[in-house]
Structure 1
Amino acid sequence: MDFNLLRQGAEDAERLLKSLSNSNRLLILCQLIDGEKAVNELEDAIGIRQPTLSQQLARLRKDRMVDARRDGKTIFYRLASEESRAVIELLYGLYCSPNGPALARRLEYATVR
């Protein structure tokens, strides 16, 4: 395997993982799995205040995880790539889905206590 390609892939993966290292950013990305959403929709769904949401969306844009478009005064966001979608869907399936193994373990732990 070409080491330069491997290095570039590792750097791309590092950027993606750093972008995912914040729970608010993860919540935003999970909301975008179903498609484009306006900022006010994200704010209502996630329950974080607009300044924090804007800061996290700016980071996600910088990291090329989301794309934005403006329609009048409203800004809409969507996942920027299939890589973003694949990783978020995997994490959702593992940790958030009612059938996911992590959620099952958390529920089991809660009932034992």
Structure 2
Amino acid sequence: MENLRMHLDTDIPELGPDSEFAELAAEVFAMLADATRVRIILALRTVEELSVNTLADLVDKSPAAVSQHLAKLRLSKMVHTRREGTTVFYRLVDEHASALVIDAVKQAEHVVGSPSHHERSERRA
């Protein structure tokens, strides 16, 4: 257990099974438990910002559906908005949601038996 604590950031309170943040963490996972929202996070992780219409094209959903998902992500403080005329642009608040999604994708790769990103990198070396 001591090794685990050594790897945690020092500004994070001690995280044990009784952590007061467990319920909030579960809410974060629930927010990301939708494939469209995962795709939106993946689309936003490599760019400064995108409009609803561009995101809708990227995730192959209607702009109305993407807007609803973005509203939830905004309420959960995962995305920020910027308005330019009638167009609203979205960007990630920080890298945390992106890191969670990337880790989830890596876990999914392990589950289905695909070589993970780090295994592919090791083979190239």
Q: TM-score range by the shorter chain?
A: 0.7 to 0.9
TM-score (norm 2): 0.67
Structure 1 unaligned residues grouped into runs of 5+: 106-113
Larger % of helix: which?
A: 1
Name which of 12, 33, 36 aligns with 2:45: 33
CA RMSD of aligned residues (A): 2.4
Aligned to 1:23: 35
**Contact 1:31–1:42 (Cα < 8 Å) also in 2:** yes
Q: Percentage identity across aligned positions?
A: 30
Q: Please identify the structure whose Cα radius of gyration is greater.
A: 2
Deviations 1:33-88 (A, max 9, x none): 11221111101111101111111111111111111111122111111123212212
TM-score (norm 1): 0.73
Number of aligned positions between the proteins: 99
Query: Helix, strand or coil: the match of 2:45?
Result: helix
Name which of 114, 119, 123 aligns with 1:104: 114
The residue type paired with residue 68 of structure 1 is: T
